[in-house]
């Protein structure tokens, strides 16, 4: 295989992607579908009947369910075969994460164990560490946790004060400090703990066993949602960590933490899809049962609009999630063939490569789920506000996703800043393309002639990207190194980038579906695309104006304003009828069927 990526992180902005180059969920093979079905069956048997008991943190219940998942192989889907896993692709592990994402608090425990709880050892551990710990994490014999956050170190993770000092005999690191908001903290057997050795500026990472002397815990945190998830503060008082339990190299901990967060962000983007689809099922089920004014509420236009919008947000998020997941798999295949790059480093490099796209999906999908569960409550009306209905749990449990894996505020900044830095370093030809766009603004005219459905959609998407490019150029020119302090401008550009990426991902998926789906169903996918692109144009226009007036470049303002009008012009769409058609199919099937 040629050691060259087909597309680099952030390069979607300057490189046109063809439909055949992306992966879509409709292409899952039989083995992947069987794994998904195993996840569904497990939830129906072990989790959904126990949701109430899980929320009340019945002693031993969550850990027992996780161990049962391990016995079925559901904790080791992406762990290499030599360490008792199934060695599946990242796309497959994302599919499992999606299905498990329907399980409220259990989804959090599952994701913490299979993701941040196991992956640091899987990706950075040496053979002995993997043999000792990863094999048992993969089977559920051991359960894992990830200990990064401290009372004074949240989004600014590297500002933590937990210390590790080498013992006089050189056999141990003596660990002292405190960690908080540790998911699975109450029952995890193995912890990845981040601490600074001596006076190091950056973290190192350590594998710590919970049974070691000197580790104590605060009681379980009382939380707004995900009540069944174990969340504790953990204290380390002169804990003796064998030197062989240093994970990776000294001072490499911060890099490990960042790369694991890239992985966690994209995994969360997939995880929320399961919650979204289950919430949609519950919404349409209720609307097909509840009568008002002598008829089912699913007959009313306002309810259809909500149901359709739930579907649209889920479908478009899913389109982008699996696109970048396959990009990560492809990058891994390239990196693993490079000299001196083992499995873990290759996969970590792949996650790092698509850090901006991972941040996009974390923000976009978590906010989509928040919308979906909010409308689930609204569709159910007074019953939706009752703690007896599933909407109550879904609504509360969704909220944490905008805080997990770095707040959405941090991730919005990362989306824009990461792509700009890749351009400044020459990793992608960002500013060459941006300067080309800006140079053409003097002669920019609103004279596009429609050419055909996908030709027009492609034109709109390229124009959305042009808005982001010209604003990045203007912002960098105006603020230079101070741009990092102009968070509002970075946020506006991030929202443009997110909508451009998701619009393109959805367009390419729909284009690919033309050869797969029957005409009546395919027309509904076009409805989804039409409504979203029409609305994305308005959102991009609004965010662009915010950025332009915030940049305040007198020489450029009029050019940029004119360009935004041209670049966000799309054909009109009867969104009412399109949404009704989408909702009618959902109502007919009485389940998410897209």
Residue where the block lists tokens 């259809």: 304
Give residues with Cβ within 8 angstroms of 154, minimum separation 6. none
Spatial separation of the C-alpha atoms in residues 116 and 192, rounded to whole Å: 9
Asked if pLDDT for residue 320 goes beyond 50, the answer is yes
> What pairs with residue 145 in β-bridges?
191
pTM for the predicted model, two decimal places: 0.96
Average pLDDT of 402-417?
A: 95
Per-residue model confidence (pLDDT) at position 343: 82
Residue among 343, 287, 350 nearest 324 (CA): 350
The answer to whether residues 434 and 470 touch, using CB atoms and an 8 Å cutoff, is: yes
The answer to whether the CB of 415 falls within 8 A of the CB of 498 is yes
Which tens digit of pLDDT belongs to each residue from 450-469? 999 999 999 999 999 999 99
* Tens digits of residue pLDDT in 371-390: 999 999 999 999 999 999 99
Residue 1's pLDDT is 40
Q: Which tokens hold the place of 253? A: 């901990």
For residues 526 and 444, the answer to whether their CB atoms sit within 8 Å is no
Distances (CA, A) of 390 to 45, 102, 283: 18, 12, 10
Query: Crossing angle, helix 253-287 and helix 575-589, to 10 degrees?
Result: 80
**% of residues, the chain, pLDDT over 90:** 91
Average pLDDT score over residue span 170-190: 97
Task: Tell me how far apart the alpha carbons of residues 306 and 310 are, in angstroms, rounded to a whole number.
Answer: 6
Q: How far is the C-alpha of 137 from the C-alpha of 160, rounded, in Å?
A: 27
Annotated catalytic residue within 405, 473, 486, 504: 405
Tokens 């609103």, residue located: 446
pLDDT of res. 348:
87
The total of other beta-carbon atoms located within 10 Å of residue 536's CB is: 24
DSSP one-letter string for 237-306: EEEEEEGGGEESSTT-HHHHHHHHHHHHHHHHHHHHHHHHHHHHHHHHHHHTT-EETTEEGGGSHHHHHH
Query: 101-155, pLDDT tens digit by residue?
Result: 999 999 999 999 999 999 999 999 999 999 999 999 999 999 999 999 999 877 7
Res. 2 pLDDT band, cuts 50 70 90 = low
Alpha helix ranges (H) inside 425-567: 430-439, 453-479, 487-513, 519-551, 557-567
- Torsion angles phi and psi, residue 194, rounded to 5: -105, 130
- Decide if pLDDT at 352 tops 50: yes
H helix or E strand, kind and range, residue 208: strand 204-209
β-pairing verdict for 144-147 and 231-242: unpaired
**Closest by Cα among 201, 208, 210 to 250:** 201
Between 152 and 331, the more confident residue is 331
405 is catalytic: yes
Mean pLDDT of 523-538: 98
Backbone angles phi, psi at 338, to 5 degrees: -80, 145
Structure-token pair, residue 161: 């004060």
* All domains of the chain in start order, with CATH: 11-142 (1.10.540.10), 147-247 (2.40.110.10), 253-409 (1.20.140.10), 429-589 (1.20.140.10)
Residue predicted with more confidence, 345 or 574 = 574
Helices 301-335, 355-380: inter-axial angle, 10-degree rounding: 160
Rounded to whole angstroms, how far apart are CA atoms 298 and 584? 9
State residue 65's pLDDT score. 98
Cα–Cα distances in angstroms (integers) from residue 303 to residues 307, 313, 321, 379, 584, in the given order: 6, 16, 27, 7, 11
DSSP 3-state assignment of 236? Answer: strand
Q: Where are the beta strands (DSSP E) in 61-185?
A: 144-147, 163-166, 172-183
Query: What mean pLDDT do residues 484-504 have?
Result: 97
The CA radius of gyration of the chain, in Å to the nearest whole number, is 24
Per-residue pLDDT at 342 exceeds 90: no
Residue 383 · residue 289 · CB < 8 Å: no
Q: What is the rounded distance in angstroms from the CA atom of residue 179 to the CA atom of residue 173?
A: 17
Among 36-50, 296-310, 338-352, the minimum mean pLDDT is found in 338-352
Over 90: is that where the pLDDT of 533 sits? yes
193, HSE (Cβ side, Cα atoms, 13 Å): 35
Where is average pLDDT lowest: 53-62, 91-100, 340-349, 400-409? 340-349
Pair type for strands 163-166 and 190-197: parallel
Query: Mean pLDDT, the chain, as a whole number?
Result: 95
């Amino acid at each position: 295989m040629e050691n060259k990526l087909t597309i680099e992180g952030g390069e979607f902005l300057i490189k046109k992607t063809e439909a055949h180059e992306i992966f879509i969920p409709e292409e899952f093979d039989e083995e992947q579908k069987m794994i998904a079905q195993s996840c569904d069956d497990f939830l129906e048997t072990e989790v959904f009947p126990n949701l109430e008991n899980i929320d009340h943190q019945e002693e031993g219940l969550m850990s027992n369910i996780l161990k049962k998942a391990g016995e079925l192989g559901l904790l080791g889907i992406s762990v290499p075969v030599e360490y008792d896993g199934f060695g599946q692709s990242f796309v497959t592990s994302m599919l499992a994460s999606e299905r498990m994402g329907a399980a409220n608090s259990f989804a959090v425990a599952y994701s913490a164990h299979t993701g941040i709880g196991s992956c640091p050892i899987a990706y950075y551990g040496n053979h002995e560490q993997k043999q000792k710990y990863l094999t048992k994490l993969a089977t559920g014999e051991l359960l894992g946790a990830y200990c990064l956050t401290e009372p004074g170190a949240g989004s600014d993770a590297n500002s933590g004060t937990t210390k590790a000092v080498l013992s006089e005999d050189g056999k141990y690191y003596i660990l002292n400090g405190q960690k908080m908001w540790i998911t699975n903290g109450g029952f995890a057997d193995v912890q990845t703990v981040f601490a600074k050795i001596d006076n190091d500026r950056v973290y190192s990472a350590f594998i710590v066993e919970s049974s070691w002397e000197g580790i104590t815990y605060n009681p379980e945190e009382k939380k707004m949602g995900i009540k069944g998830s174990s969340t504790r503060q953990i204290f380390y008082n002169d804990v003796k960590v064998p030197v062989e339990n240093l994970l990776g190299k000294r001072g490499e901990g911060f890099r490990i933490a960042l790369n694991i967060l890239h992985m966690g962000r994209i995994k969360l983007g997939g995880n929320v899809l399961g919650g979204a689809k289950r919430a949609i099922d519950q919404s349409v089920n209720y609307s097909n049962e509840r009568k008002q004014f002598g008829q089912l509420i699913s007959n009313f236009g306002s309810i259809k609009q909500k149901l359709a919008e739930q579907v649209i947000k889920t479908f478009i998020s899913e389109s982008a999630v699996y696109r970048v997941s396959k990009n990560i798999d492809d990058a891994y295949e390239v990196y693993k063939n490079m000299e001196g790059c083992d499995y873990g480093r290759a996969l970590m490099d792949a996650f790092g490569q698509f850090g901006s796209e991972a941040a996009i999906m974390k923000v976009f999908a978590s906010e989509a789920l928040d919308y979906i569960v909010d409308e689930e409550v609204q569709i159910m009306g007074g019953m939706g506000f009752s703690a007896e209905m599933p909407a109550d749990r879904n609504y509360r449990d969704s909220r944490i996703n905008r805080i997990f894996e770095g707040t959405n505020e941090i991730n919005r900044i990362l989306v824009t800043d990461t792509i700009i830095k890749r351009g400044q370093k020459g990793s992608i030809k960002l500013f060459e393309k941006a300067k080309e766009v800006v140079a053409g603004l003097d002669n920019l005219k609103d004279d596009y002639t429609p050419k055909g459905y996908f030709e027009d959609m492609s034109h709109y998407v390229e124009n959305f990207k042009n808005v982001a490019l010209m604003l990045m150029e203007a912002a960098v020119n105006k603020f230079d190194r101070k741009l990092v302090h102009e968070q509002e401008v970075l946020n506006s550009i991030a929202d443009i980038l997110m909508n451009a990426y998701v619009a393109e991902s959805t367009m390419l998926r729909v284009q690919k579906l033309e050869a797969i789906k029957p005409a009546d169903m395919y027309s509904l996918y076009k409805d989804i695309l039409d409504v979203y692109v029409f609305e994305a144009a308005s959102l991009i226009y609004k965010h662009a104006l915010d950025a332009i007036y915030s940049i305040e470049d007198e020489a450029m303002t009029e050019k940029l304003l004119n360009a935004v009008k041209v670049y966000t012009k799309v054909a009109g769409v009867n969104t009412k009828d399109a949404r009704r058609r989408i909702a009618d199919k959902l109502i007919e099937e009485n389940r998410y069927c897209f």
